[in-house]
Each structure stands twice: as C-alpha cells, then as structure tokens.
Structure 1
Amino acid sequence: MKTSDEVRQFTIAPDDDGIRLDRWFKRHLPQVGFGTVSKWARTGQIRVDGKRAKPDDRLEQGQQLRVPPGGDTPDRKPKTKRPLTQAEVEQAEGMVVQQTPSAIVLNKPPGLATQGGTNTTSHVDGLLDAFTPGEDDPRPRLVHRLDKDTSGILLIARTPGSAAFFSKRFSGRSAKKIYWALVIGVPDIREGTIDAPLAKQPGSGGEKMHVDHEGGQPAKTKYRVVESAGKKVSWLELQPMTGRTHQLRVHCAAMGHPIVGDGKYGGKDAFLTGSISRKMHLHARRLIIDSPDGGKLDAVADLPEHFAASMEQLGFDEAASDATPIRDDPPPKSREEKKQQARQHAKTYRKSQRGPRRGRGGGAGGKPKGRGK
C-alpha cells in the first residue's frame, strides 16, 4: 500500500461489494474524515474506474478506486487492539459453539452484556480481539445482540463482507431464531401469534418498552406451549418475527405470562417460590440463517446452568422442543391454486348433495312422486 503522500490505487475486494464509498473509507482509511471524502468527491479527486464518484455511490467488486494524497487527520489516533488477559481469552474461547470461514457462533452466558455502555466494561464486543490473530486481520464484529440477562446464540461475523451479508438476513427477517422461555402460568391458547406494537415507555429514559397500539412499531412473535407443570409455570418456544428491543419479554408479560425471573416486566409476580432460580429464564436456543459460504448455518446453544436446573426440577424434557419445532407459515397460494381449490370444493359439494336429492324423490329414475289431490 502506498503512503498518504502519493496517489493510492485500491481494487475493491469481494467483502466490499455493494458498500457505499464513504463507508469504504471508514472501513479501510478511518483516518480520512467524512468532510475530506466529500471534498475529494466534489472536486473530482476520487475516481472509480476513472470516473467521478459521490460519497453515497455503491462500489462493486473488482473496481479500481483512486484516492488522492493526504487526508490524514493528525489528531486522530489509529485504533489498536486492546490486550486481553489470559482469563478473557479463555472466557471468549469458552463461549464458542461453532466456527465457519465467515462466522463465529457463541453461546453467551446470562449476565454478560453484548456491548459496552455506561458503567459496562465487561461485554462480548470487548472480547472479540481474542479471535483476531494478527494486527492486520479484520476484527470480528457483532451483527445482532442479546439482552444482558438473556443467554444463548450470538452470531459474530469474521469480516466486513460477511457482517453485511448476515445483517441483510436479519433485517430481511429470513433468519429463523428460536428462543426458550419459562413463563408464569399457562396460556389458554397453546399455540399462536402475539401481534402487539411496541414503543419506549415514557418516563423510563428509554430503558423500558411497552405495548403502544397508537404509536408503536410493529412487533410480532410466534409462540407454542411445549410443556407445563400444573398451572404455575409453562415452557414456551418463542420465534420473533420482528426484532424490537425487549420484544419477547414485553409480549410474554402482555399476554399475562411474564418470563420467570423478569422482574422488570413482570414485577414480583415473575418469581417462583422454592428453589427455582431468580435469574431470567430466556434463552436463544437456535439460529438458522443463510451463510455466505453457501447453504445454511444452523446452530444450537446449550442451556445455562440455572435454566437447565429449573427444567429438571419441573420435569421438562428438552427433547420435546427439538423434536417438534414451531410450524412455518404455509406459503401464500397463487391465483391458479385458489381457483383449483374453489373448483375442487364445488365438486365435492355437488357430490355430497346427490344422495339427498335422490332421496327426496322415491320413484324410479329419481323422479319425484306426484302428490294426490
């Protein structure tokens, strides 16, 4: 790679196919600010295959990108890998469920945040340098998240290209996510869909969500009761069809059956007496998603210790869920299929009426008898 004092030429790699020009700079030349990129584009100094380009233009694999000299921001320090302790490396490696050329699948334990924030210094994102062998290797990145107290499958992309690929599958809702939850009580309808829009609850500082039929964002969750222990608790399979914050927790509480251990949305009623753990019983059990390597990535995460102990104590058999997954919605019928179905229905109906019509007669040949005067 040439220095910033010379004109630089780059070939767009497969991982960058479809990326915006300004995001390409953020990914590969982060020391060049957005203002500089805009100025270069406006003055024609950036060229893609010899032509002028705009910051929001999409790049294609194999294109030649010309970058002019300079542009370095002197006060911006390049990001460096944070050295991890041996314990942190072991913690990261201990979460690995599956690895592919494009992804690392983790089983996140409850109590570990996905990302950092105010007063949050220990999180999954901070451990990802454990999977970066060299300084020049791309840093793995998160493509979705789990709540701090939710355990289970967390997908990490190895490269920027695979991150973009997986993100499209999550946003396009083709990724299938199956969660397990223990909830208080037993739903009257044992299998169905919760369709309740969600919004941030006023006065909570955005930390809590609630059902808002007027101004909420659409949120839909499939659920199925797998087993129940009397009337006090049941084991649900949950499949979110949308990805709203705290969606499963709010939907279960709104149904009148809060998740066991979820005091935030269920209050004191979310806790069971006896030896059942007070930790939240919500687990991302399985993820099925298209893979950029071809085919499907299908990963399953074992239950955390407290959840497994509760399942055993309540007499629930884990195999009951894996053997009978939630049924997929049938694909919509075409117009021709609908016509064929209507013709078949009419034919079946006519057949069913032949017997009664003959029976109303009584004479030979099915002709009705004349009535005497």
Structure 2
Amino acid sequence: MSEIPEDLFEDEDEILFEHLSIKVDKGQSALRVDKFLSDKVANATRNKVQQAIDSGYVKVNDQKIKSNYKIKPGDVITLQLPHEPSHTEVIPEQLPLNIIYEDPYLLVVNKAAGMVVHPAHGNWTGTLVNGLVYYFNQLPEMPGNIGRPGLVHRIDKDTSGLLVIAKTEKAMTHLAKQFFDHSIERTYLALIWGEPQEDEGTVHAHVGRSFKNRKVMDTFPDGDFGKEAITHWKVLKYLRYVTLIQCHLETGRTHQIRAHMKYIGHPLFNDAVYGGDKIRKGTQFSKYKSFVHNCFELLPRQALHAKSLGFVHPTTGEKMYFEVDLPEDFKAVLDKWEGYVQSE
C-alpha cells in the first residue's frame, strides 16, 4: 500500500476506486483491523491505516468501521481511494505463494486456480504479482510489459499449475527468448467433452481475438487473422462421455488450448467461456444430468492444469524440469467419472 496523501481525506461524496480487497482466512483469530492491515500490507504503517479508516476509505463487508473493529473469519476488507489504480502500480500483498523451486535467479510457482496472474482492470489486487512484489524487494520488468514484474509468461485465472518467474534482468531476457523461440517444454492436462476418434493429433490454427467478443479468443484455420498456434495432444484416458488428454504447446497464445479444443469439437469440461459448462455428451437421464452438475460444482472452472515445465537455466545452462500433481478439485472429478464409467 503506498502512502496515502492527506488531501485525499476531504470529500465525502467523491467516487472511490477499489485498490485492495482481502478476505479474512477461516482460521484467523480476532484482531484489530488496523493491526491486521499494517501487518498484512507492505509499507502500510498503523498510523496511515488508522487515517484511512477514520476517513472512511477502509470498509469491512462494505460497511465503515473504526480502528478498533476486530476482524472475523470471512470478513471482506476493502481499501478505496478517489483515484483509479495506475496500470504500473502494483500493491504489495502478503499472499500464499506455492513456491516449489527458488534460487538467486528465478523461482517456479504452482499457481492455484482462481488466482489472477497480474493486475489489470477489475483485478488490481490479490494477484500472483501482488504477492511476488511483497515477497521480493525488487523484480525486473520487460520493456512494454510494465506493471508485471518478474513475468515472462502467464496462465489463465482458473487454470492451475506451473509458472517460472525471473528474479534478475538477465534471467528475464534469457527465459523470454526461450519462450519466443518455442524451446520451453510445457505440458497440460485437460478434461474434454467427448471421445476423439484418434488417440493423438495436432491442432494447427491461428488464434486471435474474436470479432464478436474481444474477451474471447477465436480460431482462424486459414491463417488470415490472429497468430500462429500449434497444440499437440494425446489421449491419456477415455471416460465414455469425457476424455483426459495431455497437451504439448509449441506456441503460447492466450486461451490456446481452450480455443483449439473448442475448434475440434471437444471443449474443456466446465469451460464457461468456450461452451464446456453445458452437458455436451451423454444421456438424457436425470441421474446423469445430476451427476454432471455435481461434477461442475466440484470443479467450478475449466478442467485445465499446467502439469510440467522445462527450460534451460539462464545462468548455469542446466536443463531444468518441474512437474506437479493435479489439484484436488481436478482429481475429485476424475475419480467421479471413473466411478461412473465402472458402475454403468
């Protein structure tokens, strides 16, 4: 949290913009809100927090509070100020980071589903980058990528799995070139609707912004729009109405796997953006419909996980390789589908 200028504490009727939102953990003990925030947010002194509270800029559950308010599990604490966060302003936040490898030059993180990778419109706080700038004093930034320190690639909010973060400018340049040259090894696991006719295949179709909805990516097989995108896939397990596949990326376009799988008629299970959140295959029996909707509740996101990541270390030249298991929500749905198939 940056210093809050005194002249911001004047107009009661001004428009406020959210700069910070924290949901209190289930296991959090009772604690004064000013103490909680001064401990939680980097560079936020208790005095400054108290000033913000007194001026009505800090709310709990959308209600104004006093500095002696004691937070409870599940409380949502927000800080609002009269100016919109800038695109280069990254607020340090103490967030859980599942770091599976770290050295002086880089680290590898297993990102949980639901965490946005970097701040952007509508998601200024709670992102992986907010947690990273709290964890480190300084991270490098790529030219043209200001406000996203340490990042050389990203994965979607509701995709789980591996990301490599650069800690030095040399590491960032070296890793970025590997991504540009497509020499990074990345594999994903995905649960798709239907059973492909072949056991493996390659989708080679450009991916770019949809003309109808700029938030959605579309495929352009003739290559007349978008950027070249290549996804190699192979079947790991047929589960009658869905299939577990492994995807290897040659390119790394936004929503590449999700758009490519929709293009070949097998959208990702519970992918709301690309039509996978509806029953695409199966029976009309109410028991089956209930089963699928229970699976949707278990896995309330697209079934996509960045399982492995391989690259050359930017300083030592050593070949690095990392792999992580499926998260519990993905495992639970796979188990349910396997049980369903065996019971039929």
User: In 1, distance between residues paired with 2:279 and 2:161?
Assistant: 21
Q: CA deviation at 1:278?
A: 3.4
After TM superposition, the structure 1 = structure 2 runs for residues 78-117 of structure 1, keeping only pairs within 5 Å, are: 82-85=91-94, 88=95, 91-92=96-97, 95-117=98-120
Alignment-derived partner of residue 223 in structure 1? 233
Q: Paired residue for 1:287, among 285, 293, 309?
A: 309
Tell me if the contact between 1:107 and 1:302 (Cα under 8 Å) persists in the aligned partners.
no
- State the TM-score, normalized to the length of structure 2: 0.62
Q: CA deviation at 1:302?
A: 2.5
Root-mean-square deviation (CA, aligned residues, Å) is 2.3
Q: CA deviation at 1:274?
A: 4.4
After TM superposition, the structure 1 = structure 2 runs for residues 245-264 of structure 1, keeping only pairs within 5 Å, are: 245-264=254-273
User: In 2, distance between residues paired with 1:157 and 1:310?
Assistant: 34
Larger Rg: 1
After TM superposition, the structure 1 = structure 2 runs for residues 15-94 of structure 1, keeping only pairs within 5 Å, are: 82-85=91-94, 88=95, 91-92=96-97
Q: CA deviation at 1:101?
A: 3.0
Tell me if the contact between 2:192 and 2:269 (Cα under 8 Å) persists in the aligned partners.
yes
Q: 1:203-252 CA distances to partner (integer Å, 9 max, x unpaired)?
A: 31x2111112232321110000001112x010000011111111100101
User: In 2, distance between residues paired with 1:270 and 1:299?
Assistant: 34
Return closer, same or farther for 1:268/1:285 CA change in 2, 3 Å cut-off: closer
Return closer, same or farther for 1:255/1:145 CA change in 2, 3 Å cut-off: same
Aligned partner letter, 2:117: T
Aligned partner letter, 1:223: W
Structure 2 counterpart SS, 1:264: coil
Q: 1:61-86 CA distances to partner (integer Å, 9 max, x unpaired)?
A: xxxxxxxxxxxxxxxxxx9985534x
Q: CA deviation at 1:267?
A: 5.0
Tell me if the contact between 2:100 and 2:110 (Cα under 8 Å) persists in the aligned partners.
yes
Alignment-derived partner of residue 171 in structure 1? 180
Q: CA deviation at 1:131?
A: 3.1
Structure 2 counterpart SS, 1:164: helix
Alignment-derived partner of residue 326 in structure 2? 303
Gaps of 5+ in 2: 1-87, 142-148, 281-290, 340-344
User: In 1, distance between residues paired with 2:113 and 2:182?
Assistant: 25
Return closer, same or farther for 1:304/1:270 CA change in 2, 3 Å cut-off: farther
Q: CA deviation at 1:118?
A: 1.1
Is 1:131–2:135 an aligned residue pair? yes
Is 1:208–2:216 an aligned residue pair? yes
Tell me if the contact between 1:262 and 1:270 (Cα under 8 Å) persists in the aligned partners.
no
Identity score, percent: 31
Structure 2 counterpart SS, 1:192: strand
Which shows bigger deviation, 113-122 or 164-173? 113-122
Alignment-derived partner of residue 45 in structure 1? none
User: In 2, distance between residues paired with 1:281 and 1:235?
Assistant: 9
Tell me if the contact between 1:180 and 1:236 (Cα under 8 Å) persists in the aligned partners.
yes
User: In 1, distance between residues paired with 2:89 and 2:246?
Assistant: 42
User: In 1, distance between residues paired with 2:279 and 2:157?
Assistant: 18
Higher strand proportion, which one? 2
Return closer, same or farther for 1:81/1:187 CA change in 2, 3 Å cut-off: closer
Tell me if the contact between 1:97 and 1:105 (Cα under 8 Å) persists in the aligned partners.
yes
Return closer, same or farther for 1:264/1:160 CA change in 2, 3 Å cut-off: same
Structure 2 counterpart SS, 1:142: coil
Tell me if the contact between 2:193 and 2:276 (Cα under 8 Å) persists in the aligned partners.
no
Is 1:180–2:189 an aligned residue pair? yes
Aligned partner letter, 1:114: V
- State the TM-score, normalized to the length of structure 1: 0.57
Tell me if the contact between 1:175 and 1:287 (Cα under 8 Å) persists in the aligned partners.
yes
Structure 2 counterpart SS, 1:256: coil
Is 1:159–2:159 an aligned residue pair? no
Query: How many residues get paired?
Result: 228
Higher helix proportion, which one? 1
Gaps of 5+ in 1: 1-78, 317-373
Return closer, same or farther for 1:306/1:241 CA change in 2, 3 Å cut-off: same
Q: 1:148-168 CA distances to partner (integer Å, 9 max, x unpaired)?
A: 111100110111110111000
Tell me if the contact between 2:92 and 2:131 (Cα under 8 Å) persists in the aligned partners.
no
Tell me if the contact between 2:208 and 2:219 (Cα under 8 Å) persists in the aligned partners.
yes
